[in-house]
Amino acid sequence: MQIQAAHGNIFEQKTGLLVLPLKKGETLSTQWKELDALFEQQLSKLLQEQEFEGKQGEALVIPSLGKGKAWKLCVIGIGDAKKFSLESYRVIGAHITKRAKEAKVKQVLIPFEAFPSLEGVSLRVAAERFAEGLLLADYSFHAYHKKAQERVKKQAIDRVECFVGSAAKARQIEAGLEEACAIVEGTCLARDLVNTPSADMTPAHMVDVARELTASPRITLKLLSKAQMEKLGMHGALAVARGSDHEPVGVHLIYRPAKKAKKKIAIVGKAVTFDSGGLSLKPAGGMMTMKIDMGGAAAVLGLFKVLPFLQPKAEVHGIFLAVENMPSGRSYRPGDVVRAMNGKTIEVLNTDAEGRITLADALCYAVKQKPDAIVDLATLTGACVSALGEDMAGLLSNDSKLSQKIQAAAKEAGEPLWELPLYEPYKEHIKSKIADIKNISAHGAGTITAALFLQYFVGDSSWAHLDIAGPAYSERETQPDLPQGASGYGVRTLTRYLQAL
């Protein structure tokens, strides 16, 4: 889908679908007098007959029957103008993509200034959010389904034009559209990686994706082989990987801005390319979506796709240790004790709590880079899904200022999260009698105790942990810009966080 800005009289343009935004409680004849007159007020009457209220996302597609230059018209409800927000732009954009595909059109025209203006929000920012919705809703993953590929190709929208009243306004919008394209490209890369079956999304393949990102001169890549990981003392991650035929590998991407960086930020992702549970084997149903267990690392790769375009002022380190957790005669066992990179010993009571063990070494490695802040993302605990549901991530942090920045970024990005307490007394629940700590607790609060486990490996660093087990993947479409499957959660939040530094 190509999105462009244009200016002029929208009713003089030939197109497949002309979109007519309508506020809740307003009539078509109030907002679109010229068009309604062309149809001799029949459009208004049709909307009344259909009891069209203008609720957000409500839509009615009508053939023009040769009246006007558009093949079809789409009246789209934008809801109560007083409640219209930046998130509304994204949601409405997604609804328009859905309706355009259903209408089987190739070109779409949108009178952008028909949307309510928001105080303090520029045309550029509004257009960026709107285009995010258009593009995110356009995503589909059918790499393994030929008929679906052909169907998607037939339904593809070639061009969307956002019309405004002047060339100056069109230039402002164009800048926002370009930013949206870059951010969505990174988000969709993360979606593709998570959606790809684990047989093809191995640790080695994740390295291939990381290498492709070094096409930008601002990005460099350092790889850690199994031997190098051993030398560094990453015995936790190596233990998890031991049962698999796929070699573990460490990935360290570095983005350096053109000018001297104001901050150094480390972004760490969980990268378990498939999680069988190891010897603490998951039930069959529990394994069906475990290709998603590298969703944190996928977000890191998606973010690095965006960075060269957005050019944040921070030096960014993207770090993950890619492993596969499988059962075999070489697998680590319940009852084993492994030593992490910082020397802490971990009693393994459940090999299915492997993500925190791999993250322990990744976080230790991140600390060695001496960043100003560390943010990790992980599909870590089912407890977080139980607490917050499938749409919302959990946030836990040892730094209230960092937490506030992440929350603000998530709100701007439209990626819901909720802060949970890093409750120190619960550290008693993960104390071990034979090692420094154990990898599970038997006393509930699984999301909190998992984060407290990770805290042992960040030292005094400013750190935030995002448990994305819920929103990383959905078996159904939960909102119009989130199709079934991987969401790419975290790419947009991290982008907004880095932009604000």
pLDDT at residue 6, as a whole number:
93
Cα-Cα end-to-end distance for the chain? 31
Helix or strand run (H / E) with residue 265:
strand 263-275
Q: Is 302 left (phi over 0), alpha (psi -120 to 50) or beta?
A: alpha
Q: What angle, 0 to 180 degrees and rounded to 10, lies between the N-to-C axes of helices 295-310 and 167-195?
A: 150
Whole-Å CA distances, 29 to 84, 163, 379: 21, 20, 50
Is 370 annotated as catalytic? no
pLDDT at residue 37, as a whole number:
85
The hierarchical CATH code for the domain 220-499 is 3.40.630.10
Tokens of 74: 């789409």
d(CA 75, CA 87) in angstroms, rounded, equals: 20
HEC secondary structure over 369-431: CCCCEEEEEECCCHHHHHHHCCCCEEEEECCHHHHHHHHHHHHHHCCCEEECCCCHHHHHHHE
Catalytically annotated residue among 356, 405, 438, 492: 356
Catalytically annotated residue among 218, 282, 313, 427: 282
Find where tokens 């850690």 sit.
224
Under-50 pLDDT residues of the chain: none
pLDDT at residue 30, as a whole number:
75
- CATH 3.40.1790.10 assigned to domain 2-188? The reply is no
Give 200-247 pLDDT, tens digit per residue. 999 999 999 999 999 999 999 999 999 999 999 999 999 999 999 999
Q: Count of residues for the chain?
A: 501
pLDDT at residue 8, as a whole number:
85
Name the residue among 392, 450, 381, 400 with its Cα closest to residue 418: 392
Is 124 annotated as catalytic? no
pLDDT at residue 444, as a whole number:
93
pLDDT at residue 16, as a whole number:
95
pLDDT at residue 475, as a whole number:
87
pLDDT at residue 147, as a whole number:
87
56 CB neighbour count, 10 Å cutoff: 16
Name the residue among 221, 203, 208, 361 with its Cα closest to residue 294: 203
Name the residue among 380, 362, 465, 378 with its Cα closest to residue 420: 465
Q: Is 437 left (phi over 0), alpha (psi -120 to 50) or beta?
A: beta
d(CA 331, CA 49) in angstroms, rounded, equals: 67
261, with CB counted inside 10 A (0-12, 13-18, 19+), is middle
Q: Where are the domains of the chain?
A: 2-188, 220-499
